[in-house]
Amino acid sequence: MVDLWAAWCAPCRVVGPIVDEIAGERSESLDVFKLDVDANPEVAMRYGVSSIPTLLMFRDGEEVGRVIGALPKARIEAQLDEALGARA
């Protein structure tokens, strides 16, 4: 999962700790990366990301899901499970 964020983004500061918590809980089965869109605008453009925070979910190098906005942990986990199959 890739967390696209920016330092100036207030909703990103809400989602960041949630992503960190999920990363810790699923460290055996899930790789989590954080990507600053200000430092890496070409990546955001390549994936059509126009709003942050955005979480991109990948399986075998292919995008299989995305979460846009500051959603509660339960909603993020539900979308993660749906995109990646039962517990990632």
The set of catalytic residues is 9, 12
Rg (CA), the chain: 12
Q: 26, 86 in Cβ contact below 8 A?
A: no
Element (H, E) at 18: helix 10-25
In single-letter form, the type of residue at position 73 comes to K
